[in-house]
Amino acid sequence: MRPALALRPSSVSRVLRARRVASFHRYVSHQASRSIAELLQWRPAQAADDVTVSGFVRSVRSMKARRFVALGDGSSLAALQALVEADHAGDLAVGAAVRLTGSWVSSPGAAQSHELHVRRVEVLGPSDAKTFPIQKKYQTPEYLRTMPHLRPRTPVNAVLLRLRSEAIASLTQFFAGRSFTQTHPPIITSSDCEGAGEVFTVTPANNTPVPANKAASQESFFRSKKYLTVSTQLHLEALAQAVGNVWTLSPVFRAEKSDTSRHLSEFYMLEAEMSFVDDLGPVMDLAEDMLRSLSTNLIESATVGDLLFRSRNSGSDLAPADEVRRRWEGLMRQDWPRITYSDAVALLQRKADLFEHKPTWGAGLHSEHEKYLAEYVGGGEKPVFVTHYPRDIKAFYMRETPTPTPEIPGPTVDCFDLLVPEFCEIAGGSMREHRLDPLLDVMRRQGILKPPSEGAPGDSSCGGLDWYVDLRRWGCPPHGGFGVGFDRLLSYLAGVQTVRDIVSFPRWYGRCDC
């Protein structure tokens, strides 16, 4: 791993140039699979013959007896410029899938160093340009969202797909390098009471024979009611007690009727759980190292180059490139500040007149408070950990802080929220209550556990969570972990304004196309 550094634009350019040279060498050794991104970096002094490239026609411009064709294949924001004689260009409609063969020659124009002088045109998938819904001109995100099956064909959406892919690969490498076991916790689960919001139920479709008693039939496939998971954490804890440190990148589901730029009904969560950790420090270190490793790794990629160096006029709705670059540089910095909730509230209270909502110990932080903290504590640059929130506003499984500071008004839990500038919360984590009796106490207090049963093993009085309580009966070490909304993280890194535009087929209240 390269050391993290605060990059100035010039050094960013340098690493990108280095990357491009590497990319060129890869191109030369794997001629069979030449992408447009690779071809655009290839600048031979002499014209190269018999170059074949496949892609989709972005635009066609007529110029006397020739056509200037802009070709894209999803590998770069920039298009490849191809020159085709008019009599070969008949079927080169916008949107068509084509294979072009010709000479790669240096270009007289300033826009690209080289262009393809086409000798042979194969139209592999024709297009009716008149009805093709994707146009080269600016189209609103709302309009593009009405056709998620075609939207990925826009150049910017292809960049977002590549960003996701490279982020997954980088994170997989990060965790493998630390011997974390990547796991597949279940999607269909038995519990609906994790307190993370509304849930979806799962039943066999009606094309299976339905007995007279319909309600019973809906539960009969799995014998009792089942739900789509809202978080894999509880199952991850079971796995962490087998192999120590675990992580997952898993779809999770919320049936909330939220109509905001931050909420989806289906999204990917990255969750990690560490065993044999005594306190929150190593858990926060892991979250920090992970995000720094991700940003440091990817900053060099051509994909992130496309995000950071696009022109202001590229006609997308992404946040300005300068702003996006600041986000990446922030994540790459060392030593992110950590402040307790209690200190944060005291700090906010000294500036109470700045806020619409009064900062009060015992209440959640409002978005305006989080924004101020990210700005003031993190200098508008570094992410900020806010730790040790009041117990009574947090989930039942969080461990109560063992040695609370006397001057604090009430009990707190060993937890954190990670705030980033503008965007606010991007990750959250905690130590988990690993002792049986304190866990049963809090489950009783929160009404998850019904009093008569006392959580005896095997009964179903824990809202389907008997098994989770069970984990504490035999050898449960201190453990903790965190979760990151993966799609939100990608939105932040890409500068996408709503999480609906970072997911290929977004699902939210009232919308589930394709």
Contacting a copy of itself within 140-199 (CB under 8 A): 147-150, 152-153, 157-158, 161-162, 164-166, 168-169, 172-173, 176, 178-190, 192, 198-199
Q: Which of residues 264-323 bind a copy of itself (CB under 8 A)?
A: 265-266, 268, 275-276
SS3 443: helix
In whole angstroms, the minimum distance from the beta carbon of 126 to a copy of itself comes to: 7
Q: Which of residues 92-151 bind a copy of itself (CB under 8 A)?
A: 95-97, 99, 124-128, 131-134, 147-150
Q: How far apart are CA 201 and CA 460, in angstroms?
A: 18
Number of residues binding to a copy of itself, judged by CB under 8 A? 110
Q: Which of residues 52-81 bind a copy of itself (CB under 8 A)?
A: 54, 56-57, 73-75
Torsion of CA 132, 137, 142, 145, to 10 degrees: 40
Q: How far apart are CA 336 and CA 4, in angstroms?
A: 13
**Pairing state of beta strands 181-182 and 114-125?**
unpaired
In whole angstroms, the minimum distance from the beta carbon of 12 to a copy of itself comes to: 22
- What's the burial of 376, exposed, middle or buried (CB within 10 Å: 0-12/13-18/19+)? middle
Residue 203 in contact with a copy of itself, rule: CB under 8 A:
yes
| Region from 110-118, 204-212, 346-354, 369-377 binding a copy of itself, contact rule CB under 8 A | 204-212
Q: How far apart are CA 416 and CA 384, in angstroms?
A: 10
In whole angstroms, the minimum distance from the beta carbon of 510 to a copy of itself comes to: 6
Residue 491 in contact with a copy of itself, rule: CB under 8 A:
no
For residue 500, give the DSSP letter.
Answer: G
Q: Which of 45, 63, 205, 216 binds a copy of itself (CB under 8 A)?
A: 205
Phi first, then psi, for residue 286 (nearest 5°) are -65, -45
Structure tokens that stand for 61 in this block: 């411009």
Residue 372 in contact with a copy of itself, rule: CB under 8 A:
no
In whole angstroms, the minimum distance from the beta carbon of 221 to a copy of itself comes to: 6
In whole angstroms, the minimum distance from the beta carbon of 176 to a copy of itself comes to: 4
Q: Which residues, at least 6 apart from 402, have a Cβ–Cβ distance to it below 8 Å?
A: 414
H or E stretch at 434: none
For residue 29, give the DSSP letter.
Answer: H
In whole angstroms, the minimum distance from the beta carbon of 178 to a copy of itself comes to: 7
| Region from 365-373, 382-390, 415-423, 466-474 binding a copy of itself, contact rule CB under 8 A | 466-474
Amino acid identity of residue 397, one-letter, is: Y
Q: Which of residues 209-248 bind a copy of itself (CB under 8 A)?
A: 221-224, 226-228, 235, 238-239, 241-244
Residue 251 in contact with a copy of itself, rule: CB under 8 A:
yes
In whole angstroms, the minimum distance from the beta carbon of 319 to a copy of itself comes to: 22
Mark residues 14-43: x for contact with a copy of itself by CB under 8 A, - for none: -------------------x-x--------
In whole angstroms, the minimum distance from the beta carbon of 348 to a copy of itself comes to: 34
Q: Which residues, at least 6 apart from 302, have a Cβ–Cβ distance to it below 8 Å?
A: 16, 19, 20, 23, 37, 76
- What's the burial of 364, exposed, middle or buried (CB within 10 Å: 0-12/13-18/19+)? middle
